[in-house]
Amino acid sequence: MSQTTTSAITKALNTPQSKYYHDLIEQITPGGVNSPFRSFAEVGGHAIFFDQAKGSRLIDIDGNEYIDYLGAWGPAILGHSPNNVVKACQDILARGAVFGTPHTLEFEFGKLLLEAIPSMEMVRFVNSGTEAVMSAVRLARGYTEKDVIVMFEGGYHGHSDSVLGSSGHRSSGGIPSGTAENTAMAKYNDLDSLEATLKQNKDKVAAVLIEPVAGSMGVVVPDAGFLQGVRMLCDTYNCLLIFDEVLTGFRMAFGGAQQLYAIKPDISCFGKALGGGMPVGAFGASREIMNRLQPIGDVYQAGTFSGNPVTMAGGIEVLKTLKDPAVYEVLEARADRLFKGLRSSIEARSLPVQLQRVGSMFAVVFCEKPVRNFEDSKNISAEQFALFFHYLLSNGIMLPPSSVDAACVSFAHSEDEIDRTIDICHSAFNRVFA
């Protein structure tokens, strides 16, 4: 994406303060961001600095207002700063931010979570999705006394060593070769590929780790029977199935993707929406598996801030709100309205754009054919997406600055906002395909 093209489109957007702080923070923080996702490296230009996030709206430090579909990369399922969550967090904060000892809110939140996810008999709270998956992977290895984890190309499971490949999508330097050797890859939506990987690593696989809907390669929906097939292969090859529901959990349904697709994983991981904005992660499984954790068992896992009262108090409010099926009806209705509007715009001109969505997580991907796996996602045009992204941004709509990552509709989005978004997207498609 050339700088010239970007600035030609964004000239309507006035963000001098954001630019100022972007240049400033770049001097003390690599790339000016505390997480690479936040950088505008893929779409060009500088990141926007926000001052307020409330409901479906963001306001930046220059006073521009946006309808938000970034959703903080997933947590803002109820919209930003829901009143009940804010109040609960404020109330408990005044009594103590962290006790370093157990407290009653851990029980209350844990019970609500276990009621929502019947595949889990016990849970442990952590502080992020990364921690949840990292802990689940260690637990699986400890429980099975095997080393290999099988993942799917293009998946994202946070930034712990075992789940970041040394090549491919979101790969990283600094992964010890010994660690990488214990991570094997299969192709998403391809049971033959999974079976071949399991055969190749026979008797060595601790677990298959999967995002039930792959959120980081264009919101890839599992083919009919795929997840059932994954479950069966795990049973056949005697390994555990870990569902990484950090993105899908409480977003696609109250019981997560496992409820929607009727699959019982052995270990499940949550984060993002579960905290409604507070930093949270959780992993859980059967009593037998979870009791392998210290101090009962031999698998170590810990955290100073895990289960802290502020996060627990916020999470309790989130789950109490999400328990009402009407929330998911609204989420589905809004997302459906958005997609119908976008579809008619795309079909009217037969544009090479795919709409991929499950529930309130979606992606508008710029390629000829639907994306079913990582290979397909390589055909997504980052250049066209960048034009689309900047057109939307300069017209007051915020998407993830990434051609492959999931955008989110929240409970706070109104029908009017959805309709406005459809209109702006229509003009944006005209611009991209002028």
Ligand X SMILES: Cc1ncc(COP(=O)(O)O)c(C=O)c1O
Does position 135 interact with ligand X (CB under 6 A)? The reply is: no
Q: Are 22 and 49 in contact (CB under 8 A)?
A: yes
Cα–Cα nearest to 411, from 343, 323, 298: 323
Does position 188 interact with ligand X (CB under 6 A)? The reply is: no
Site stretch for ligand X (CB under 6 A), options 97-105, 127-135, 372-380, 410-418: 127-135
Q: Is 272 a catalytic residue?
A: yes
318/425 with CB nearer ligand X? 318
Backbone phi and psi for residue 258, each to the nearest 5 degrees, phi listed first: -65, -30
Does position 247 interact with ligand X (CB under 6 A)? The reply is: yes
Binder to ligand X among 57, 141, 157, 231 (CB under 6 A)?
A: 157
Smallest separation (angstroms) from ligand X to the CB of 216 = 6
Does position 271 interact with ligand X (CB under 6 A)? The reply is: yes
Q: Are 9 and 390 in contact (CB under 8 A)?
A: yes
Does position 156 interact with ligand X (CB under 6 A)? The reply is: yes
Does position 130 interact with ligand X (CB under 6 A)? The reply is: yes
The interface mask with ligand X, positions 193-212, x = CB under 6 A, is ------------------x-
Does position 277 interact with ligand X (CB under 6 A)? The reply is: no
Q: Are 69 and 408 in contact (CB under 8 A)?
A: yes
Does position 244 interact with ligand X (CB under 6 A)? The reply is: yes
**By Cβ distance, which residue is nearest to ligand X?**
129
Binder to ligand X among 73, 243, 388, 389 (CB under 6 A)?
A: 73
Does position 154 interact with ligand X (CB under 6 A)? The reply is: no
Q: Are 306 and 126 in contact (CB under 8 A)?
A: yes
CA distances from 395 to 4, 14, 70, 386, 399 (A): 19, 11, 15, 14, 12
Cα–Cα distance measured from residue 344 to residue 225, given in angstroms and rounded to the nearest whole number: 29
Cα–Cα distance measured from residue 137 to residue 148, given in angstroms and rounded to the nearest whole number: 10
Smallest separation (angstroms) from ligand X to the CB of 27 = 25
Site stretch for ligand X (CB under 6 A), options 13-21, 189-197, 240-248, 380-388: 240-248
Q: Is the peptide bond before 295 cis (omega within 30 degrees of 0)?
A: yes
Site stretch for ligand X (CB under 6 A), options 53-61, 123-131, 184-192, 197-205: 123-131
Q: Which of 244, 266, 376, 405 does the annotation list as catalytic? A: 244
Q: Is 187 a catalytic residue?
A: no
For 146: left if phi > 0, alpha if psi spans -120 to 50, otherwise beta; the answer is beta
Site stretch for ligand X (CB under 6 A), options 141-149, 152-160, 165-173, 378-386: 152-160
Q: Which of 68, 69, 266, 272 does the annotation list as catalytic? A: 272
Does position 76 interact with ligand X (CB under 6 A)? The reply is: no
Does position 222 interact with ligand X (CB under 6 A)? The reply is: no
Structure tokens at 315: 């999470």
Binder to ligand X among 215, 229, 276, 307 (CB under 6 A)?
A: 215
Q: Is 391 a catalytic residue?
A: no
Applying CB under 6 A, which residues contact ligand X? 73, 128-130, 133, 156-158, 211, 215, 244, 246-247, 271
Catalytic residues: 156, 244, 272
